[in-house]
Structure 1
Amino acid sequence: MPQPSKTLACFFGLLAALGAQSQTKPAAKSETPDDASVIRVDTRLVVLHCAVTDRGGKQITNLTADQFKVLENGVQQPIKLFRREDIPVSLGIVIDNSGSMRDKRQRVEAAAIQLVKASNPQDEVFVVNFNEDAYLDVPFTNDIQKLEEGVARIDSHGGTAFRDAVSMSIDHLKQEGKKDKKVLLVITDGNDTASTVMTLEKLVEKAHKSDVLIYNIGIFGKDDKRDEKKARRAMDALSRASGGLSYYPGSIEEVEAIARQVAHDIRNQYVIAYSPLNQQLDGSFRQIKVSTTGSRYSVRHRTGYYASPEAPVRRQQVSLNN
């Protein structure tokens, strides 16, 4: 099986009472007498989607909350929510449609459909194709036939606007995605030659702020190692920041198997949420490190977040008897 690049970051989101950062404030009173022992509070939570693997790369899915430790800027944080659950996601499939992809499109299209078929049946999926420009070719749907038709009607030509396509897809996920967990899979074969929207550094910052997991598949030839190095740098930076992975198959034939790996990764992760001890919403970047007891396993998760007042607020029930 192809191996992912060593970009540790993590992935799985959860519908329940989750947001992105931290601060608690009282909300409305209980609405019925049966709820007399419960109050409701609006809580800002940092939500982490964590994949745990052993030294051989096998995913570990049977750990408990007390086996994890979460540090924010080096300070241990109390875990407020812990689950491992396969939940529906809002998924964007972003496919390079430049001229150099013409001979690879059939395999790439098959891989995109494999990803959808191996994912949660309740997922919603959209497709963006890009060359010098990025286009939303298939809006959110869970209809396999519509997705197959959408990825098959493309005519490959032009250059590669990788950053523009990722930026647009993040925006679409945040604006239109109905699921709490949001994921991008980007498939490309070359270095960015046409983006105009933002630098790589700004795009990485946007990924940190978005809580969107980014997976990349880079299908490179042997002609220009310098361009490949630049492309890998961009993909690794985005997957590492967001909690996803970047894959670099040795041949186009491996892409379908990688797509199935991505689907498996999405469906077998832990959700860990905490309300930070530092409750200042000052816009600063907070670095996160998650580990397991005994250090036998590697934990992949997003590397941090921005403590912003714009973070979503979720409602959480708290028992008065606790």
Structure 2
Amino acid sequence: MRLCNNAILAGLLSLTTFMLGAQQAPKPTTPSASNQAPLTVDRDPVRSPDAEQPSTVTGEPLRKEGEGYVLHTNVEEVVLNATVLEGTQLVQTLKRDNFQVFEDGVKQGIISFQHTDLPVSIGLVVDNSGSMSKKRPAVNKSALDLVEASNPEDEAFVVNFSDEAYIDQDFTSNVNKLRDGLSHIESRGGTALYDAVVASADKLVADAKRPKQVLVLITDGEDNASTLNLDQTIRRVQELSGPVIYSIGLLFGDEMSHGEVRHARRALELLSNETGGIAFFPKSIEQVDEISAEIARDIRSQYTIGYHSTKPSTEPGFRRVLVTAEAPGMSKLTVRTKSGYFPTTRVAKKPGQKR
């Protein structure tokens, strides 16, 4: 499967414009499908081209340099983005001492802690299969309501997928370009959801300027065209130390059987839960705006926690992570973060630098 330019749904423009400032990006170009070099997901394993040696997930606190932020890499540090809830309410007043981190059941020492509006690299991954044709005009209309200024350092790209996935707009901070990229509707083909997720995660790792990375996935059905299965997809995202995935499943209507809805819902929940995100299942198109705003608030309210793993960086295998939080005067707190990671290497780069 390849990623190339093509039309894509405007359904998540509300989220994008809420999270992106109207600042002009440095003149990114949008080549046509005929002349853009394809990105593939058929190599095994899928990871960034510069991830050649096994090592632990890395990252130092961001530091402002010039017009952007630079992540200074430390090969011994694991970085987690965590959302904290008291019931259904976001908690934004915690300090480092309120948190505990465990890796494979062993308590870890927190070495860095931030709770600030960090710039984000976002991939919008949108189902463009034939079954979306009736839903997309309504999503288009509702998505234009959230044109808000946000962090001007954010960047986003847009991917459309059916039985193949295409980049409709490469990384940009230009809201107008994203609007143009999301404006063309062309529903066709099947649903290669898993392949699209892996390809988009790989693109984030390879090309994103921001160490904090998110995929927003919107679909109305279950995968029926991928070369990968669900377990392979989750593993590959974890091997990449990949993005937090937020899913919006438009599973209402009569197009799917109860069994198909159940399978599609389970897949989206696992993709989101295992990566630290959340899956939403609106009962109507009219709820998409509200969900988009909730995703934006969730991303902007996260804590960034770093620790040194007690395991050697060369030791392979999946490492399960648990984060807990307690605070005086608060009831039971729920912490949402990724379930774990595979040791990999991520090379930091300055804004605008090509790998």
TM exceeding 0.5: yes
CA-to-aligned-CA distance 1:177-228 (integer Å, 9 cap, x gap) = 11111110000000111112x1111110112223311000000124311111
Find the partner of 1:245 among 278, 288, 291. Answer: 278
Say whether the 8 Å CA contact 1:243–1:300 is kept in structure 2: yes
Task: Give the Cα separation in 1 of the matches to 2:149 and 2:237.
Answer: 25
Distance 1:133 1:288, change over 3 A: same
1:62 pairs with 2:57: no
Q: Which residue of 2 aligns with 1:291?
A: 324
Q: Which residue of 1 aligns with 2:154?
A: 123
Task: Give the Cα separation in 1 of the matches to 2:244 and 2:146.
Answer: 15
Which one has the bigger helix percentage? 1
1:155 pairs with 2:186: yes
Q: Which moved more, 1:116-125 or 1:270-279?
A: 116-125
Task: Give the Cα separation in 1 of the matches to 2:333 and 2:168.
Answer: 40
1:257 pairs with 2:290: yes
Task: Give the Cα separation in 2 of the matches to 1:281 and 1:109.
Answer: 48
Say whether the 8 Å CA contact 1:160–1:191 is kept in structure 2: yes
Say whether the 8 Å CA contact 1:114–1:260 is kept in structure 2: no
Structure 2 unaligned blocks of 5 or more: 1-54, 59-71, 350-355
Say whether the 8 Å CA contact 1:44–1:312 is kept in structure 2: no
Instruction: Please say which structure displays the higher CA radius of gyration.
Output: 1
State the 1:142 CA deviation: 1.3
Say whether the 8 Å CA contact 2:56–2:313 is kept in structure 1: no
Distance 1:113 1:239, change over 3 A: farther
1:270 pairs with 2:306: no
Say whether the 8 Å CA contact 1:236–1:245 is kept in structure 2: yes
Q: Which residue of 1 aligns with 2:129?
A: 98
TM-score, scaled to structure 2? 0.73
Q: Which residue of 2 aligns with 1:44?
A: 76
State the 1:106 CA deviation: 2.7
1:219 pairs with 2:253: no
Say whether the 8 Å CA contact 2:142–2:286 is kept in structure 1: no
CA-to-aligned-CA distance 1:66-97 (integer Å, 9 cap, x gap) = 11111111111000001101011110101111
Say whether the 8 Å CA contact 1:43–1:314 is kept in structure 2: no
For 1:88, what is the secondary structure of its paired residue?
coil
1:188 pairs with 2:230: no
Say whether the 8 Å CA contact 2:249–2:280 is kept in structure 1: yes
Distance 1:313 1:145, change over 3 A: closer
Task: Give the Cα separation in 1 of the matches to 2:167 and 2:73.
Answer: 38
For 2:266, what is the secondary structure of its paired residue?
helix
Task: Give the Cα separation in 1 of the matches to 2:151 and 2:57.
Answer: 29
State the 1:43 CA deviation: 3.8
Say whether the 8 Å CA contact 1:48–1:271 is kept in structure 2: yes
1:305 pairs with 2:336: no
Higher relative contact order (CA 8 A, sep 6+): 1
For 1:132, what is the secondary structure of its paired residue?
coil
Q: Which moved more, 1:291-300 or 1:111-120?
A: 111-120
What is the count of residue pairs matched by the alignment? 277
Say whether the 8 Å CA contact 2:76–2:313 is kept in structure 1: no
Task: Give the Cα separation in 1 of the matches to 2:195 and 2:110.
Answer: 36
Q: Which moved more, 1:296-305 or 1:223-232?
A: 223-232
Say whether the 8 Å CA contact 2:221–2:249 is kept in structure 1: yes
Q: Which amino acid aligns with 2:191?
A: T
Task: Give the Cα separation in 2 of the matches to 1:115 and 1:304.
Answer: 33
State the 1:119 CA deviation: 4.6
Task: Give the Cα separation in 1 of the matches to 2:83 and 2:73.
Answer: 29
Find the partner of 1:21 among 56, 60, 69. Answer: 56
Task: Give the Cα separation in 2 of the matches to 1:114 and 1:49.
Answer: 28
State the 1:258 CA deviation: 0.4
Task: Give the Cα separation in 1 of the matches to 2:154 and 2:178.
Answer: 13
Distance 1:116 1:176, change over 3 A: farther
Compute the RMSD of aligned alpha carbons.
Answer: 2.4
Q: Which moved more, 1:44-53 or 1:148-157?
A: 148-157
CA-to-aligned-CA distance 1:155-193 (integer Å, 9 cap, x gap) = 112211111111111111111111111110000000111
Find the partner of 1:88 among 94, 119, 127. Answer: 119
Task: Give the Cα separation in 1 of the matches to 2:57 and 2:189.
Answer: 44
